[in-house]
Structure 1
């Protein structure tokens, strides 16, 4: 809740012509107001990608306690960080997000996951990653032990399956 929302809420509660008006004892109203007012000072964690969360943790635990240094692309390069992280931090809006995550805490964004199937009447049509085999392959729709059926876009790209997103013969479904 932001400051203006809190002000508007209490204008409604204290206005006897408002449909939300309730004759609440003065002391109860003050207690409720003070409780909600305290929440205004509590910063909310921001959402960042996993690679950003990983970098923040590495910096704080092993490399630097300086926000300025952690955001420096040259420092990232010196510490073998991914090109994705460097590109991400160069965006102005992401710099603000990174600083807030560093100072106030963060939650990791859940990456979208996809189920990939070949269209048509094909028995072995579902793309899976077999953890025991350490490779991707197409199989029937039943569940295999130690197989991953839902993949991130990045995982598919890195495994040279990025083409599935543009192929008319393949169905790509976003899953939870």
Structure 2
């Protein structure tokens, strides 16, 4: 990482799963907004981690992860 690169955020495994599912749906080189669209459309209240997505901090974390890269928490 260079001095000007943003620090990668750390996300839960289930969020990484959402992102990876979106990539399968749209193809590996996915535009960030398509990932957000997929998560917004396909993660619903039947998903066990749906409540995580309702939190504004977590929404910002998801956006940051998609744009700047991320690591999955241990």
**TM bin (shorter chain):** 0.7 to 0.9
Aligned length: 68
Q: Does 1:83 align with 2:28?
A: no
Tell me which of 28, 44, 62 is aligned to 1:98.
62
> Which consecutive unaligned segments of at least 5 residues does structure 2 have?
none
Q: Which runs of 5+ in 1 are unaligned?
A: 1-37, 111-176
Structure 1 stretches of 4+ moved >6 Å:
none
Instruction: Calculate the aligned-residue CA RMSD, in Å.
Output: 2.3
Judging by fraction of residues, say which structure has more helix.
Answer: 2
Of 37, 44, 52, 2:7 maps to 44
1:3-22 mapped onto 2 (5 Å cutoff): none
TM (norm. structure 1) is 0.34
Q: Which has the higher strand share?
A: 1
Q: State which structure, 1 or 2, has the greater radius of gyration over its C-alpha atoms.
A: 1
Q: CA deviation at 1:95?
A: 0.3
Bigger relative contact order, structure 1 or 2, given CA contacts below 8 A and separation 6+?
2
TM-score after normalising by structure 2: 0.74
